[in-house]
Structure 1
Amino acid sequence: MRIAVYLPLLLSLLAPFGARLLAERCEPRLATWLLTTSAVVLAAASTISLGLLAVTGVIRFPLLAHLGHWSARAAQRDDPAELSVALLAGVLLGGAVLAAARVLWRRARSLAAAAQEAACMPAPDGLVVVEDETPDAFALPGLPGRVIVSTGMLQALEESEHDILLAHERAHLAAHHYLFVAFAGLGAAANPLLRPLATAVTYTVERWADESAAITAGDRARVARTVGKAALAGHHAPARTRVSGAALGILGRRSGLSAAGPVPRRVAALLAPPLRRHPGLVFATAALLAAVAWSTADAADDLHRLLEVVGAW
């Protein structure tokens, strides 16, 4: 098969550079959409590419080729891909499918558990205050979702900052940020090269919520101060037990791959003028995804032609 089948895998190597550019230079809402879409498209395309390469290996074995009425000898002669490459692609494909299925199952369970937990919390206005000295605040998705705030967090902030805290958490629920994080994480599970995109998404959804709070408060500096104070209050406190993969909060996600990014970057962004949409970055991302889609379609067409040739013998 030609170079087109390898293009989605090669372009996945650009993920760290693209994630950094979009997260730091593009308006958070748009950056989140671009990063999540890129993670999903690249993961799907790279998985399909591995599948196409694996099929070229399958048809070289006489017993398997006979099931599809193909000529194994013709496949060995006409397919330019090495058998070792096809076998490696098959192994990677199996790993990608298993990893994606595992993450999908865990995400679905966590969101279902979050919805069930939220439904059991009586809160007419969606706010649940828990008696806990540990400063924490997070949004729990559900139908409807809940904003969970500890008394420790309320005590750590001034009363005038409580509205900013609630605006941040409600922005997570209103924009369904947990879905962006889930889809980006699913893409990274299928293709580990895309982990920088998933990490960037967990940061940009926090930035998106920060900007929403800034619009509500009308004072970017006050929001920056609130984010900083909340982070300092929770710095030495142990993280609360949350539903994995579902809860998002002003303190950020404090675990490995899910880290929301350094709080100082969020504070600095709030103290600076709002970021623009950067049409150039949007165009570059769209062009890259279009190239990925074209290469995948072209590779699929190559395999179709190959199967026609080996099936004619």
Structure 2
Amino acid sequence: MIFAVWIPLLMPLLAVPAARRLAQSLPPRAAAWLLTGCAAALAACTAAALGLLTAAGALRLPPVAALGRLSLPLLGGDPVVSVPAAGVAAALLTACALAAVHRTLRHHTELRTARRTTDAHPPSGDLCVLPDSAPDAYALPGRPGRVVVTAGMLRALPPDEREALFAHERAHLAGRHHLFLLTVALAAVCHPLLRSLRAPLAYALERWADEAAASRVGDRRVTARAIGRAALAARPAAAAAHRPGTVLAATAGPVPRRVAALLAPERAVDHPPVRAGLHGRRLIAAALLACVTFSAAAALDAAADLHETVEVAQGEAAR
């Protein structure tokens, strides 16, 4: 356990760059699932490693050992090292848990505040028009989900581009894309390196919605113009105060890159270009899978080793 328990804490150093690189070569939907799944798996392994470190150190404290009827000499390890390490791990685990709870509560609070704002304006189907003059549009999840758009944004777009914008936001709602972002945000509180997955995930989700909108309206150029014109009309620095920071909007992310992708041949979406080529993508995918698998296996091995040690110590103490 001494060595295995540290592997999940170090593996994101290799897994995160590999996930970011591999996501660039995948279609948007696959990239979003890859980044989210990778973040969740690495965060779970990190939390497990911190929990095991905490338990291993706590069991070497005489009061805890006496409570569990353990023989201290058979637990192994140096208490001078393991007990302080357990204290640090326990503090980190507690901080992660508190940060995750705070992040979740803030997410729901922002959504409730935005919902109260939109409830003051009767919706038309799933569309809610706010009288604000500042151009803005976003997908507000909930039951039911709503496409929120301001009067300023409606004035900025012609009818066909409005439909493309609405289709984009509806794709966010249908795909429950806010849960992808929330999952990665919660994973990032467990390991700081996972924060760098948020930007590529947000881009993948926007591209996912772009492609869904283009398919819905049947015109990639109209969709590209809608995204570009909406981004030019919107002023991110002066975004509406009612828009939650956790929602997705068509004007977010690297808009020129998204517009270029929409104007590219449709076959390029299913097979995005990447310098490494097919062989390189396979190597990156294999490396990422190995990192996640090795991290999970190390956590399980450390847990099994700790369990075996405790059983031996209990058996000896019972003699």
State the SS of the aligned residue for 2:261: helix
Q: Distance in 2 between the 1:292 and 1:114 partners?
A: 39
State the SS of the aligned residue for 2:139: strand
In structure 2, relative to structure 1, the CA distance for the partners of 1:169 and 1:276 (3 Å cut) is same
Of 288, 293, 298, the residue aligned with 1:290 is 293
Establish whether residue 174 from structure 1 lines up as the match of residue 174 from structure 2: yes
**8 Å contact kept, 1:139–1:170:** yes
- Amino acid corresponding to residue 269 of structure 1 in structure 2: A
Alignment match, 1:256: none
Question: How far is the alpha carbon of 1:152 from its aligned partner?
Answer: 1.3
Question: How far is the alpha carbon of 1:210 from its aligned partner?
Answer: 0.9
**8 Å contact kept, 1:119–1:142:** no
Alignment match, 2:34: 34
User: What does 1:159-238 align with in structure 2 at a 5 Å threshold?
Assistant: 159-235=159-235, 238=238
Alignment match, 1:8: 8
Q: Distance in 2 between the 1:69 and 1:111 partners?
A: 49
Q: Distance in 1 between the 2:38 and 2:24 partners?
A: 16
Question: How far is the alpha carbon of 1:265 from its aligned partner?
Answer: 2.4
User: What does 1:1-313 align with in structure 2 at a 5 Å threshold?
Assistant: 1-77=1-77, 82-114=82-114, 121-235=121-235, 238-242=238-242, 244-252=244-252, 261-272=253-264, 273-276=268-271, 280=282, 284-311=287-314, 312-313=316-317
Q: Distance in 1 between the 2:298 and 2:144 partners?
A: 42
Q: Distance in 1 between the 2:31 and 2:311 partners?
A: 43
Q: Distance in 2 between the 1:209 and 1:189 partners?
A: 27
Q: Deviations over 1:18-47 (max 9, x none)?
A: 343244221111111111111111111100
Q: Distance in 2 between the 1:291 and 1:175 partners?
A: 31
In structure 2, relative to structure 1, the CA distance for the partners of 1:192 and 1:159 (3 Å cut) is same
- Amino acid corresponding to residue 270 of structure 1 in structure 2: L
- Amino acid corresponding to residue 306 of structure 1 in structure 2: T
Q: Distance in 2 between the 1:76 and 1:288 partners?
A: 29
**8 Å contact kept, 1:182–1:245:** no
Q: Distance in 2 between the 1:115 and 1:182 partners?
A: 18
Q: Which runs of 5+ in 2 are unaligned?
A: 273-277
Q: Deviations over 1:137-165 (max 9, x none)?
A: 11111211111111211222222211111
Q: TM-score, normalised by structure 2?
A: 0.85
- Amino acid corresponding to residue 152 of structure 2 in structure 1: G
Q: Distance in 1 between the 2:204 and 2:77 partners?
A: 50
Q: Distance in 1 between the 2:115 and 2:22 partners?
A: 31
Q: Distance in 2 between the 1:64 and 1:40 partners?
A: 32
- Amino acid corresponding to residue 109 of structure 1 in structure 2: T
Q: Distance in 2 between the 1:156 and 1:103 partners?
A: 34
**8 Å contact kept, 2:160–2:222:** no
Alignment match, 1:257: none
**8 Å contact kept, 2:18–2:285:** no
Q: Deviations over 1:200-230 (max 9, x none)?
A: 2222111111111121233333322321221
In structure 2, relative to structure 1, the CA distance for the partners of 1:116 and 1:8 (3 Å cut) is farther
Q: Distance in 1 between the 2:160 and 2:20 partners?
A: 34
Q: Deviations over 1:71-108 (max 9, x none)?
A: 33433548897444333222222221221222122234
In structure 2, relative to structure 1, the CA distance for the partners of 1:49 and 1:180 (3 Å cut) is same
- RMSD in angstroms over aligned alpha carbons? 2.6
- Amino acid corresponding to residue 75 of structure 2 in structure 1: A
In structure 2, relative to structure 1, the CA distance for the partners of 1:263 and 1:93 (3 Å cut) is same
In structure 2, relative to structure 1, the CA distance for the partners of 1:53 and 1:116 (3 Å cut) is same
Q: TM-score, normalised by structure 1?
A: 0.86
Question: How far is the alpha carbon of 1:188 from its aligned partner?
Answer: 0.9
Q: Distance in 2 between the 1:303 and 1:219 partners?
A: 59
State the SS of the aligned residue for 2:144: coil
Q: How many residues align?
A: 305
**8 Å contact kept, 2:51–2:90:** yes
Percent of aligned positions that are identical: 44
Q: Distance in 2 between the 1:166 and 1:118 partners?
A: 16
Question: How far is the alpha carbon of 1:285 from its aligned partner?
Answer: 4.2
